[in-house]
Amino acid sequence: MKINRQYHRIHKITVTALCAVLMAAVPETAWAGSSQLKDMDLSAGRYIAVAEKNADIYVSMDSYDILKTAAQGEEFQILDDAGGGWMEVKVEDGVGYLSAEDADIQKAESGDDQKTEEAQGQQAGGDVSGSLRRYIVDFARQFLGCAYRYGGNDPHSGVDCSGFVRYVLQNAAGVVLQRSSRAQAAQGRAVSADQMRPGDLIFYAKGSGINHVGIYAGDGQVIHASTYKTGVKMSPWNYRTPVRIVNVLGD
């Protein structure tokens, strides 16, 4: 018996008290797609999901809202394994969630992380480095006012500082960053304040430990997921004393 998509998603978010009853009603094959994900480093950006049929892609893991219905054969860059047989995939300039049951996972033609098509379009006929950096900032600006959520990875549902930076760089430039601000500070190449350019990362510390990161937006401003009260906002780049500035774009 095939479990329909709505029941499948309701099952995921059903309260603990009903889990035993529902699990008994769901055959083991309902999660068969999760076997495709085993031992794959999907966060490296080297895989694509090819829809095997018309398939719904959802706004978030705990939402009934459909972001897009994929046509059979349509391809999506996989951004990460979301758990439970679900994948985080790139949909236009955002992120959606697709069941591995509905897609064939394939290695991308190039094993290297690629810039998004939108970024490549911005670069046509101009300075590649400067255009990409401007695109990163423009991409980040669309999320101004989005909610802050500790541990959050998606501006549509809430992000913390490092989750926001990771989301923007991965989706705007194909750069895969570590999850925490401290780990991100160890990536890329350190630059001085007079060398920094839009798209560089600015790190701040509390005591001896790095605890905050934002993206330099140019004109003396940093864009960052700040607090629960303000969400994603712009601030003067030195509103706190930066302890490290990093170029993760390699230019």
State the pLDDT at residue 44.
56
Give burial (CB, 10 Å; 0-12/13-18/19+) of 130. middle
State the pLDDT at residue 168.
97
- The yes-or-no answer on residue 224 being catalytic is yes
Q: What is the DSSP letter of 200?
A: -
Classify domain 32-107 at the CATH topology level: SH3 type barrels. (2.30.30)
Catalytic annotation, pick one of 8, 11, 146, 224 = 224
Q: Does domain 117-247 bear CATH number 3.40.50.1860?
A: no
- Domain ranges (residues) in the chain: 32-107, 117-247
State the pLDDT at residue 30.
32
Q: What is the DSSP letter of 31?
A: G
CA Rg, the chain, in Å?
Answer: 20
- The yes-or-no answer on residue 161 being catalytic is yes
Q: What is the mean pLDDT of each run of 10 residues along the chain (251 residues)?
A: 47 43 36 54 73 86 79 84 83 80 78 41 48 93 95 95 96 94 95 96 93 96 96 95 95 87
State the pLDDT at residue 36.
59
Sign, CA dihedral 78-96-248-164, equals: negative
Catalytic annotation, pick one of 8, 11, 146, 212 = 212
- The yes-or-no answer on residue 11 being catalytic is no
State the pLDDT at residue 45.
62
Structure tokens at 211: 């605890």
Tokens 């300039």 appear where? 93
Domains 32-107 and 117-247 share a fold: no
The CA-atom distances, in angstroms, between 59 and each of 67, 88, 104, 197, 232 are: 5, 10, 20, 33, 19
Partner residues linked to 203 by β-bridges: 213, 244
